A and B are shown apart, each in its own frame.
Chain A
Amino acid sequence: MFDFLQDYDLLGAFWVTVKLTLLSGAGSLVLGTVLAAMRVSPVPLMRGFATAYVNIVRNIPLTVIIVFTSLGLADTFRLTLGGEGVKEVAFRMAVLGLSTYTAAFVCESVRSGINTVPVGQAEAARALGLNFTQVLTLIVLPQAFRTVIGPLANVLIALTKNTTVAAAIGVGEASLLMKEMVENEAQLVLITAVFALGFVILTLPTGLLLGWLGKRLAVKR
Chain B
Amino acid sequence: MSDVSVTKDTIPAAEADALVALSNVNKHFGALHVLQDIDLTIARGEVVVVIGPSGSGKSTLCRTINRLESVDSGSITLDGKPLPAEGRELARLRADVGMVFQSFNLFAHKTVLENVMLGQIKVRKKDKAEAEQSARALLDRVGVANQADKYPAQLSGGQQQRVAIARALAMEPKVMLFDEPTSALDPEMINEVLEVMQQLARDGMTMVVVTHEMGFARSAANRVVFMADGQIVEQATPEQFFTNPRSDRAKDFLSKILHH
Contacts from A to B (Cβ < 8 Å): 42, 118, 120-121, 123-131, 134, 138-139, 142-143, 146, 219-221
Contact = CB atoms under 8 A, between A and B. Distances in A.
Nearest to A127: B99
Contacts of A129: 91-96, 119, 123, 171
Given A124-B99, A130-B119, A221-B108, 12 more contacts: A123-B68, A125-B107, A126-B68, A128-B118, A128-B168, A129-B91, A129-B123, A129-B171, A130-B122, A130-B123, A131-B87, A131-B88
A127 B94 contact: yes
Nearest to A122: B105
A124 B105 contact: yes
Nearest to A117: B108
B174 interface: no
Nearest to A131: B91
B interface residue count range (under 10 / 10 to 19 / 20 to 34 / 35 or more): 20 to 34
A139 B107 CA distance: 7
Nearest to A129: B95
A146 B151 CA distance: 15
B122 A134 contact: yes
B109 A146 contact: yes
Interface centre among A129, A131, A138, A220 (most CB of B within 10 A): A129
A100 to B, nearest CB: 30
B97 A124 contact: no
Nearest to B92: A129
Interface string B104-143: 0111110000000011001100000000000000000000
Contacts of A221: 108, 153
Q: Is the interface of A mostly helix, strand, loop or mixed?
A: helix
Nearest to A125: B107
A146 B93 CA distance: 31
A134 B87 CA distance: 12
A116 to B, nearest CB: 11
Nearest to B86: A42
Contact of A128 (B88, B95, B109, B153): B95
Contact of A127 (B68, B88, B106, B108): B68
Contacts of A219: 108-109
A174 B98 CA distance: 58
B118 A138 contact: yes
B59 interface: no
B101 A128 contact: no
Contact of B97 (A120, A127, A138): A127
Contacts of A139: 107
11 contacts: A120-B101, A120-B103, A123-B68, A123-B105, A124-B106, A124-B107, A126-B94, A129-B92, A130-B123, A131-B88, A139-B107
A110 B105 CA distance: 21
B161 interface: no
Contacts of B119: 128-130
A128 B123 contact: yes
A146 B101 CA distance: 24
B66 interface: yes
B149 to A, nearest CB: 15
A142 B154 CA distance: 19
Contacts of A120: 101, 103, 105
A64 B107 CA distance: 44
B223 interface: no
A101 B118 CA distance: 36
Contacts of A138: 118, 122
A123 B97 CA distance: 13
B27 interface: no
B167 interface: yes
A75 B88 CA distance: 46
A128 B88 CA distance: 13
Contact of B108 (A42, A121, A134): A121
A221 to B, nearest CB: 5
A123 B168 CA distance: 13
